[in-house]
Amino acid sequence: MANDLILKVEKDHTISMDCGGIRETYSLKEAPDASSTLVVTEKKNILHKMDLDTVLKNLDNSVDLLNVAYHAVYGFDVQTQIWDLQKTLMDLNDKGINVIDDFARQSSAVIHDLIGFFDWLTKGAEKVAIKKLERFSVIAGTMSRQAEQLAKDYQKMAGDTSETLKNTIDENNRQYAHQDQIQKEMADFQSEQEAADIAQQEIKKRLTRLQTEYEKLSKAELDAEKHQRTMDIMGAVFSFLGSAASVAADVAGKSGSTESSTEDKEKLDTAQKEANAAKDRLESLKKEKEELVKALETADNDEKRESIRSDIRAKDIEITEAEKQVNKKSSALKSISAALHGVSSQIAEQSQKESSVQENRSKRLTEINAELIRLEEEQTKQLANLAKYTNRLKTMVIEKNSVEAAVRSLIVAVSCLKNVVVAVMDIALFWTSMEKCCKALATSDLKDTIQDLQEIDKEERIEFYYTDSVMIPLLTYMVQWAAVKSISTDFINGAENTRFRLNETITKADKAEMSREQHWDLASKTAGNVANNLNRQVAESNKKISTLKG
């Protein structure tokens, strides 16, 4: 009770109270009102200056804080620990509701019995009264143990929350390290990408130069082939004309020469056909190769490109063989033409020189073609590298953004869990206070006082029961039970609300369509609302304190 509080038994057996100018009257024949000064003061004594409304709000805040933390650590190993805390809070809150509901019922029953208790005393039925006090003591003892166990359970939850907080901080540190590693890898990949891009540009330049040279040589080769045909025809014509002149000169005495001339003409025709056939085949092979080169440029995957390159290499071998055949047949044709007439010897010699030039040109074309294929392969490789670097960088940017979001979310979780520890410790302190209050009720000295009075006469005892020494302690005892009942009733309403919100929060926490990043984003948004509520509650508490001080 307060130091300035004065209690006095009046002549009508009521008890008057004077506390700082506030005057109230109490009777042992009715329960004290929950709003009376004595009950309100006793509630403060039980709660050790804790504001029950604040305690209940902190319990309610724990629901929101754990929900934010759950979304904030979504996808991390610590998520299961947050769920365990939510489940523990749900179980303890339900257990607390059952216990506090029992407190309210037991308190009501005790208060009801205490109203008739004074009548038992004043009628001399002390044995009945003592038995009731003993039963009250047992009830209070049971309530004390229940409150003590809940206090321990909440203290354990506070410890588990602290451990989860530590694990969350460790996870946050790992994410910071991961973030640094990603940034380093991104820098390395960007350097490799730049190097690959430079190499790609150089390959493009070389390809352009070689393709230009290839086109010039190809055109020169086509012109040379046309010129070669003209030279071959001229050689054949001159050879034929020479043979005809020889026939006309020697016709009189050389009848066998006609048969020889006919035979040489047939050889010339055959050689000409074979040379033309070889050149036609060479031209056909080159066209086939051009088609393959075009197909290589449009190929859309590595397997097709490798198959086409293999075909091109095989075609190059055929072309080389065909060129040898062309040279061989051309040489044979030139030899026959030269043998038929000496006038064709100069043409044959010129043709041979041009054939040598053409052969060198063909060799260079083959070299260029091989180099083009090699560069195409290198370009494909570099393009693959560029694609790899680009895709990896895209992945790393996404991963970097994800890690940054994770870090921000984990920071939110750490902040929430710190507040949960404080809130849970408040609830544990509440139950510790209730445990001490019930223990005091269980060890009341009223029983000893009544037993000691049994030594004197009944009339004297009854007269003594109407004094301050009995009535005021009995009123105080009744007020204590009334305070327990009032606190229990207030607590039940807040705990029921917490139970409803906790169940609703848990059932809505996991949605199949939500990604991990969306959970983190929800945590950040919800954290802002929770922070606003906490700030508002702090402001209200400060206002209450200022009012009390004033």
Cβ contacts of 288 within 8 Å, gap of 6 or more: 315
**394-417 residues labelled b (16+ CB within 10 A) or e (exposed):** eebeebbebbebbbbbbbbbbbbb
User: Between the CA atoms of 312, 313, 318 and 319, what dihedral angle is there, to the nearest 10 degrees?
Assistant: 70
State the average pLDDT over residues 490-503: 84
Total residue count of the chain as it appears in this document: 550
pLDDT band at 250 (very low <50, low <70, confident <90, very high): very low
pLDDT for residue 35: 92
pLDDT digits (tens, 9 = 90+) for 438-472: 888 777 787 888 888 888 888 888 888 898 988 99
In 3D space, the residue among 146, 186, 97 whose CA is nearest the CA of residue 393 turns out to be 186
> Of 14-18, 90-94, 185-189, 305-309, where does mean pLDDT reach its minimum?
185-189
- Left, alpha or beta for 22 (phi > 0: left; psi -120 to 50: alpha)? beta
SS (H, E, C) 110-169: HHHHHHHHHHHHHCCCHHHHHHHHHHHHHHHHHHHHHHHHHHHHHHHHHHHHHHHHHHHH
pLDDT for residue 548: 42
In 3D space, the residue among 488, 493, 503, 527 whose CA is nearest the CA of residue 143 turns out to be 488
Cβ contacts of 350 within 8 Å, gap of 6 or more: 231
pLDDT for residue 329: 81
> Of 65-69, 101-105, 515-519, where does mean pLDDT reach its minimum?
515-519
- Say whether 31 sits in a helix, a strand or coil: coil
- Left, alpha or beta for 48 (phi > 0: left; psi -120 to 50: alpha)? left
Q: How far apart are CA 388 and CA 316, in angstroms?
A: 33
pLDDT for residue 14: 92
In 3D space, the residue among 53, 5, 57, 17 whose CA is nearest the CA of residue 487 turns out to be 53
> Of 45-49, 390-394, 429-433, 434-438, where does mean pLDDT reach its minimum?
390-394
State the average pLDDT over residues 130-145: 88
Two structure tokens written together for 290: 């051009």
In 3D space, the residue among 189, 179, 108 whose CA is nearest the CA of residue 143 turns out to be 108
pTM: 0.58
pLDDT for residue 37: 92
Higher pLDDT, 433 or 380: 433
Two structure tokens written together for 286: 């080159």
State the average pLDDT over residues 536-550: 56
Cβ contacts of 133 within 8 Å, gap of 6 or more: 117, 444, 446, 447, 450
pLDDT band at 542 (very low <50, low <70, confident <90, very high): low
pLDDT digits (tens, 9 = 90+) for 198-224: 777 877 777 777 777 777 766 766 666
Two structure tokens written together for 297: 């440029």
> Of 32-46, 119-133, 227-241, 387-401, where does mean pLDDT reach its minimum?
227-241
Two structure tokens written together for 443: 């060890």
Q: In what order do the strands lie in the sheet with 15-19?
A: 5-9, 15-19, 22-26
Two structure tokens written together for 62: 């724990």
> Of 39-43, 88-92, 541-545, where does mean pLDDT reach its minimum?
541-545
For the chain, how many helices (H) and strands (E)? 11, 3
